[in-house]
Every structure is written in C-alpha cells, then in structure tokens.
Amino acid sequence: MASLCYNHFSKLPKKGKPQLRKEWTILAGVVLLTNGESLHVVALGTGSKCIGQGKLSAAGDMLNDSHAEVMARRGFLRYLY
C-alpha cells in the first residue's frame, strides 16, 4: 500500500513538491480495497504544519492543521461525499 501511495504521489505535477534530495515531506494516503483484490488510492495528503493558537481565526476561514494525515482524511471525506 505504501508503494501504491508513493507511485500515485510521484505521478502528480512537480509544483509544490519538495526538491529532490534537498527537501522532504510526510505523505499519508487512504487506499480502497475492492472485490478483495484491487487497490485504489482514494485520498492523498502531504504536510507537517499547524498554525499557532494565536493565529486561529474565529471566522473559521483559515486552515488550522495541515498535517499529512489530516489532509488525507479531509480528501477521504470528500471522496465519500
């Protein structure tokens, strides 16, 4: 499953990705198993940032947590909806 997620990530455009051998990022994914045999990546997220409490918006118009697993979860929920 990890290699499936990594291969999916490598096919995405280079914009916003870390520079090869200079930068890195955390990758999280959600994989769907269909018919007991076929695997599909349905959500993928990268990131390791969280804004501080002092920067939180009462209006809810700022993304607070952009850790990879949170981004993948949000993508998965969107997939389900």
Active site residues: 69
- ∠80-14-43 over CA atoms, to 5°? 15
Q: Are 8 and 37 in contact (CB under 8 A)?
A: no
Q: Are 71 and 47 in contact (CB under 8 A)?
A: yes
Q: How far apart are CA 28 and CA 23, in angstroms?
A: 17
